[in-house]
Structure 1
Amino acid sequence: MTPVFHMIADGPRPVAPFSHAVEIDGWVVLTGQMPTDPAAPDAPLPEGIVAQTRAVMRNLEIVLKGVGLDLSHIVQCRCYLTEFERDYSTFNDTYAAHFPTDRLPARTTVGVTALAVGALVEIDCLARRPER
């Protein structure tokens, strides 16, 4: 199988050299998304972990939609928080609201010292295209 490299036309502006998603054999790897606004990429980031988590999830939805998928196709997420102790519980509540309680993706969450663009949160994902 040859990988397909996706750049979503109305997707978030990349903050580094990467594709929004790479697909191979039904698996779709989504690059970590930041809490930027695709319509105003130079605008200040939303304030606080709740607003930033919602923005990241919106950006993941945009990328997923661009490859014909949605949040229900996510099987695994990696989450990065710059203020882990302070934000972990609130982040969990905001993140969980995007998934049915009986279909939560596998997940790893780690605290990091810094993220691009001064973000509090970044999330990358692995999604699976349904069998045809």
Structure 2
Amino acid sequence: MKTTHDPVIRAGAPQPISTAATAQGTLLFVAGQVPMRAGKPNGEDITTQTHAVIDMIRNILVRHGCSLSDIVKTTIWLTDARDYPAFNSAYAAHFCTDAPARSTVISQLIAPVKIEMEAIAVLPNSP
């Protein structure tokens, strides 16, 4: 079974020791994404950051011929439980029907943001 890696490329920033995504067999594993732009949080509130991180994941999926509807599992880390209602509303705007399985955890993050999200998607033309 072939494994394909999608490297993270950040101009002028240290390169991480992982890839943005790894395709293995019929699955695409998208590494945890945080809403950062030019070294700063992309937005101050959880709603803006949620939309930003989902857009980042969408862009990774597109490079592999996938869309948000191909996601079967997400894991979300929030830094503040009080953000959960606003996060959930923003998330629901992208996953209106047939939402993927999801785990949501409250945790401290390394980046100075309110959310991190990873996803697992089924690659196109998979059985």
TM-score interval, smaller chain: 0.7 to 0.9
Identity level (%)? 33
Q: Which residue number in structure 2 is paired with residue 6 of structure 1?
A: 6
Q: Which residue number in structure 1 is paired with residue 72 of structure 2?
A: 75
Q: Which residue number in structure 2 is paired with residue 21 of structure 1?
A: 21
SS of residue paired to 1:56: helix
Provide closer, same or farther for how the CA distance between residues 15 and 47 of structure 1 changes in structure 2, counting only shifts above 3 A.
farther
Q: Structure 1 residue 14: deviation in Å?
A: 7.9
Post-superposition Cα deviations, 1:31-83, rounded to whole Å, max 9, x if no partner, equal 0110123xxx2244311100110110110011111111110110000000000
Provide closer, same or farther for how the CA distance between residues 14 and 74 of structure 1 changes in structure 2, counting only shifts above 3 A.
farther
Please say if 1:121 is aligned against 2:118.
no
Provide closer, same or farther for how the CA distance between residues 90 and 50 of structure 1 changes in structure 2, counting only shifts above 3 A.
same
Larger mean Cα displacement after TM superposition, 90-99 or 13-22? 13-22
Supply the distance in 2 between the matched residues of 1:90 and 1:71 (Cα, whole angstroms): 20
State how 1:42-81 maps to structure 2 within 5 Å: 42-81=39-78
Which ranges in structure 1 are unaligned for 5 or more consecutive residues? none
Please say if 1:89 is aligned against 2:89.
no
State how 1:97-116 maps to structure 2 within 5 Å: 97-101=93-97, 103-112=98-107, 114-116=108-110
| RMSD of aligned Cα (Å) | 2.0
Q: Structure 1 residue 17: deviation in Å?
A: 1.5
Contact 1:15/1:116 (CA < 8 Å) preserved in 2? Answer: no
SS of residue paired to 2:87: helix
Q: Structure 1 residue 131: deviation in Å?
A: 2.8
Provide closer, same or farther for how the CA distance between residues 42 and 121 of structure 1 changes in structure 2, counting only shifts above 3 A.
same
Supply the distance in 1 between the matched residues of 2:15 and 2:118 (Cα, whole angstroms): 14
Which ranges in structure 2 are unaligned for 5 or more consecutive residues? none
If the length of structure 1 is used for normalisation, what is the TM-score? Answer: 0.85
In the comparison of the two structures, how many residue pairs are matched?
A: 124
